[in-house]
Amino acid sequence: MEWSLENVREMVAGGIQSIRECEICAFAIAMCVLLLFMWYCYRVGREHGSSPLRGRYLAGPGRIGGVVGGFMGSDCRGRGKGKHGSPLEEQNGFAFCQSSECFRCTSAGESLNQRLYNSLQDYAKRYTWSGMGRVHKGVRDQGRYLNSRPTIQRPEVFFLPDLPSAPFFSREVQRHDVELLEQSFPALLAEFESIYHQPPARSGSSLPPGWKANSTPRGQWWTYYLVNQGTPLVLNVRRCPRAWRVLGQLRTFIANNVFGNACFSVLTPGALITEHYGPTNVRLRCHLGLRVPPSCELVVGGEPQCWSEGSCLLFDDSFLHRAFHEGIAEDGLRVVFMVDLWHPNVAAAERQALDYIFTPGRLEDKEGK
């Protein structure tokens, strides 16, 4: 090859042209990637378009106005069947709940396992199987896990395998949310005082509006729900704007599936909540003490703990647990603000999948309807 000025010019021109072609190709690839990313964000946004709580209570009273309070650990809801409700509104505890709309009371058995698997497959088709190892394992072998668990820990609906477990957890595992709740103690206590000292909801009832009585062998246990099984209660939320605002600031509150609850819980002197299990091990139940007289105790997995005013107590309610208030009338009420938070070892991808699978209403058995 002879080196000349003309040859050098041709080589330089060819190199510049190649660079220009590569730039155009790279730009085209970058645009394709950007369009794919925008499409993915759109798809995700349709399913999870808003923050967990913002605006949900504005859906109107027709959808959730009839929801009532808790099943033992506060997860059961009964709805009035007629215009004026049903007796279950006053007897909605463990012994009395027969509601066809209660997820926890009607979803057990093989039909639930099949519906879980179908929902997981639907989620994977829409999004991805990535990070779903434990969830897939849990759904596939759910019947075996629930039936073979030791009696000290036996969640009644869903068990996620290979998840570290203990009756009580350190406040450090959910430090941000624990500190936020404790900083909100004065506002939450004031809001409790406001809703508790309202006049009775109707003649013949001793409870103010929004409060529900739960079944106990002795004493009284009352609950006032803001969120019950992942569904906000419109009227109660409107009466508690500060508590609702606190819930919206929590990073790990379970707001989008049936395992999430938030309520004020009251025990009268002499009350006993008998031993029972929660529905799942993917959550930690957080109690913020608002009023804590002497002789009150929570026993989880055989380990006793006492509440403290202004402090949070974190426990895994899939362990066998009970609570009691053995004080006298002069001691007053035991009051806590209860919130369900994600277990710290449930990964973000698993949380998103579980929110999808256990969205309120998704697992209802449609057979015969």
Q: Is residue 317 part of a domain?
A: yes
Cβ atoms of 281 and 254 within 8 Å: the answer is no
Cβ atoms of 263 and 224 within 8 Å: the answer is yes
Q: Is residue 23 part of a domain?
A: no
Q: Is residue 325 part of a domain?
A: yes
**Domain residues for 336?**
168-347
Report the C-alpha gap between 355 and 207 in whole angstroms: 33
Q: Is the pLDDT of residue 11 over 90?
A: no
Other Cβ atoms within 10 Å of 334 Cβ, number: 27
Q: Which residues have a Cβ under 8 Å from the Cβ of 309 and sit 6 or more positions away?
A: 185, 289, 290, 291, 292
Beta bridge partners of 339: 262, 286
Q: Is residue 226 part of a domain?
A: yes
Other Cβ atoms within 10 Å of 114 Cβ, number: 12
Q: Is residue 58 part of a domain?
A: no
Q: Is residue 311 part of a domain?
A: yes
CATH of the domain at 282: 2.60.120.330
| Number of independent structural domains in the chain | 1
Report the C-alpha gap between 156 and 329 in whole angstroms: 35
pTM value is: 0.74
Beta bridge partners of 338: 263, 287
Q: Is the pLDDT of residue 58 over 70?
A: no
What is the reported pLDDT for 363? 73
* Nearest of 283, 229, 225 to residue 260 by alpha carbon: 229
Cβ atoms of 137 and 161 within 8 Å: the answer is yes
Q: Is residue 233 part of a domain?
A: yes
Token couple for 130: 């990535």
Helix (H) or strand (E) holding 245: helix 241-249
What is the reported pLDDT for 105? 56
158-179 residue pLDDT tens? 999 999 999 999 999 999 999 9
Task: Give, as one character, the DSSP assignment of residue 200.
Answer: P
Please state which of the ranges 76-85, 322-331, 339-348 shows the lowest mean pLDDT.
76-85
List b or e across 116-143, with b for residues whose CB sees 16 or more CB atoms inside 10 angstroms.
Answer: beebbeebbeebeeeebebbbebbeebe
Q: What integer best gives the mean pLDDT of the chain?
A: 81
Helix (H) or strand (E) holding 38: helix 5-47
Torsion region of 323: left, alpha or beta (phi above 0 gives left; psi -120 to 50 gives alpha) = beta
Q: Is residue 91 part of a domain?
A: no
